[in-house]
Amino acid sequence: MMVAGADELCAILSNDDKTTKVEVVISNEEKKECSGYVKLERVKASVSEGGTYHVTNLDGFDRDIWLCQVTLFVLGSYPKYIYLKKED
C-alpha cells in the first residue's frame, strides 16, 4: 500500500474523471491566504512509518490521509503543509 485516503482525495478533486490538473504548493509555513486550496497539515511523520496529514477545506472529505516513504524520495521531507488546488 502506497497511500491511504489519498486515492479518495484525488477522486474527489477530479470528480471521478480520468485526468485532472492540480496545482500543488509545498510549504513548512502555513499560508495565510489559501482560499480555494485544500490544505493538508502534517499530523505525524517518521522515516519508517510515512506521514499522516489532516485534510481541511474539502467538502465531502472528512478523514486523514497517509503518504508512504516515497514522499521522502520525491520531496526530500514530509512538509508541514501541502496545498492542492484543481486547475480549471
- pLDDT, one tens digit per residue, over 39-72 is 999 999 998 899 999 999 888 888 899 998 888 8
- pTM metric for this prediction: 0.85
DSSP collapsed to 3 states, the chain: CCEECHHHHHHHHCCCCCCCCEEEEEECCCCCCCCCCEEEEEEEEECCCEEEEEEECCCCCCCEEEECCHHHHHHCCCCCEEEEEECC
Residue 21 has pLDDT above 80, yes or no: yes
Domain parsing of the chain, residue ranges: 3-86
